[in-house]
Chain A
Amino acid sequence: MARVDVKNVSLSFGAYRALNDVSISFADGGFYALLGPSGSGKTTLLRMIAGFEYPDEGSILIGGEAVESVPVDKRRIGMVFQNYAIFPNMSVAENVAFGLRVRGEKGAGVEKAVSDALDLVQLGHLAKRRPHQLSGGQRQRVALARAIVTKPRVLLLDEPLSALDKGLRKDMQIELKRIQREVGVTTIFVTHDQDEALSISDRIGILKDGAIVQEGAPEEIYDRPRSEFAATFLGEANIIEGTAEGGRLTLENGVSIPLPQEAARSSGHLRCAIRPERVHVVPGGLASVNLSQAGTLTGIVRHKLFSGSLSTYSIDCDGRQFQAIVPRTGEDDIRMGSPVEVTWKKEDLIILA
């Protein structure tokens, strides 16, 4: 086990800059998610930590040791690939034993380690199977067992769940988390699935255009995104902008809303975000709210999306689309086309950079 430090790393493929001065640290034993849209550089960063790409500039340290010029087979890492990359010419047990065998290990020690690893992923009974006899979820477990049997210093996962169907993916997320906790290996997990990143990782790094946009604990990033990109990529957000002065924000349409405490002294142009589930929708006339403590806009319901326990309203506030997610309690259904007022507590307003 070891911590991983990426320091000022850049990499270009021809004219394309895949990573641009990236610095990020992964603490020993942590479970990290690298999240970003395709082309954001998250997979490149992972492959660079693995040793499949070498940085043009900067350094990579595993356990405090600079490894940027160490080839992949000498880095003592474990990696799980997007399509699992199970060796088709070997049985399950042979696949798992591969990493030990290429290190020259033999005999009962190998067998013990392999069966322990297979037990850990609950596949002990399938050791003799051939890869083509396995389901997607089983392949995933074989890939995981194979990656951890060598006791790697860091475990790298490249979108390991994206090939699984939805139900299985949920199960595997829980499973992955359990195994990671049991083994205690520093784990870096690349995904483009926000929910996945939020639910299984201790920390999340969001990448965009080859740079880290924000890094932190899932709640922190969700509750306090620092940029519009972070706010909209991780979850939904309504963006509001205007001119700040004296603790209030004046919007384009002249409406004034209160700013939270942290922005009380801001002035000039300001962009803010508000999560749809923090928005309340009040039908008809004026809501009885304290205008110094709550933001309020008026609008007309344009669309309504019903999803079981929740309703999502799309509300037109002077030409600006506003999303609100409201729990359905039975008595407060709002019809399309009806005028409403949307309100939120001023502390729920997120100030963006």
Chain B
Amino acid sequence: MTPSFKTRRRNGLLSALPLLLPAYAWLTLAIFLPLSAMVYFSLLSDIAPNAPSPSLTIENYATFFSDPLYATLLWRSLVLGLIVTLACLVIGFPAAYVLAKILKGRAREAIFLLVILPFWSNSLVRVFSWSMVLREGGILDTALNAVLPFEVTFDLIYSYPAVVIGLVHSYLPYMVLTCYLTLQAIDDALIEAARSLGASRLSALRRIVLPLAMPGMLAGSALIFIPVVGSFMEPRILGGRNGTLFGTVIEDQFTAVYNWPLGAALSFILLAVVLVILLAAAPVLRRTA
């Protein structure tokens, strides 16, 4: 369309700087410099972190490539990220759809609040709460045995499914939130128009709603995939020995093995993988936005 003329001259960078500087300075000190330091650290040989003359090496990255364990664990973490993201999408999108397109008024507001409320309560505590549900002799076990005529042993704690359940529980509200926001922005008349043109409910969903909701689904997926790939607390609490992942190995380097340079290298590899995946998704995001 025709370019709109600017009616008002806005301020340039210079006059904005005094107000911007404190926030960016803080982010520099607490995020950007630490990330740079991490890159530097990942190139140090495995010595005491404050030793006088650290030598530069690519040994830590070599370790990652020479020991297949790391690649396996990274793969395991990526697969876990994928599973949890897909599960959240499959569960969360219909929930967001119901909220945005079926419920109305106060009911919608109240239920929406209920869905996103857990998201703001401590995720550690929420993960922990599952350990009471999933263990043998726990609530689910007891309830199932009370109802079912035959004896079942239900002991999911310290298993891979337990980790998945805990993570889905933790991150589901993100997906509902992002999908809800895009679904809400889709004019109901578009769906009605599709229906009036002969599209069935399913066809309207596939041809109109899903394409238009894509940005929300992708944003939600990114918001879930990234932290899940780096998760270590949830696998530790719910996965036990079965919860060894790339994130727990990184944590070990800092809190148990004290090989910080290797930990830094592994962190950086994880960051790089996440960034590559995000960059790969970016064109799709931009196209659908």
A147 to B194, CA, bound (A): 10
A76 to B200, CA, bound (A): 12
- Cβ of B140 < 8 Å from any Cβ of A? no
Contact B203 A102 (CB under 8 A): yes
Contact A81 B212 (CB under 8 A): no
Interface size class of B (residues with CB under 8 A): 20 to 34
Contacts known (A73-B200, A133-B1); A85 close to B189, Cβ less than 8 A: yes
Interface size class of A (residues with CB under 8 A): 20 to 34
* Smallest CB separation, A193 vs chain B (Å): 20
A154 to B203, CA, bound (A): 22
Provide the B195-213 mask, 1 if CB < 8 A to any CB of A, else 0. Answer: 1111111010001100110
Q: How many residue pairs at the A-B interface have CB separations less than 8 Å?
A: 72
Contact B212 A72 (CB under 8 A): no
* Smallest CB separation, B217 vs chain A (Å): 14
Residues of A within 8 A of B198 (CB): 73-74, 76, 99, 102-103, 150
* Smallest CB separation, A95 vs chain B (Å): 9
Interface residues of A in 83-111 (CB under 8 A from B): 83, 85, 87-89, 98-99, 102-103
B interface SS class: helix
Closest to A103 in B: B198
Residues of A within 8 A of B199 (CB): 73, 98-99, 102
Residues of B within 8 A of A146 (CB): 193, 197
Closest to B200 in A: A73
Contacts known (A52-B192, A73-B200, A85-B192); A102 close to B212, Cβ less than 8 A: no
A150 to B189, CA, bound (A): 19
Residues of A within 8 A of B195 (CB): 51-52, 71-73
- Cβ of B187 < 8 Å from any Cβ of A? yes
Contact B196 A50 (CB under 8 A): yes
* Smallest CB separation, B206 vs chain A (Å): 10
Residues of A within 8 A of B47 (CB): none
Contact A102 B192 (CB under 8 A): no
* Smallest CB separation, B127 vs chain A (Å): 38
Residues of A within 8 A of B124 (CB): none
- Cβ of B27 < 8 Å from any Cβ of A? no
24 interchain pairs, CB-CB under 8 A: A51-B196, A52-B195, A71-B195, A72-B195, A72-B196, A73-B201, A76-B198, A79-B193, A81-B189, A81-B192, A83-B189, A85-B189, A88-B190, A89-B212, A98-B197, A99-B197, A102-B194, A102-B197, A102-B198, A102-B200, A103-B198, A132-B1, A146-B193, A146-B197
The 8 closest A-B pairs by CB, nearest first: A99-B197, A85-B189, A85-B193, A79-B196, A102-B199, A81-B189, A89-B211, A72-B195
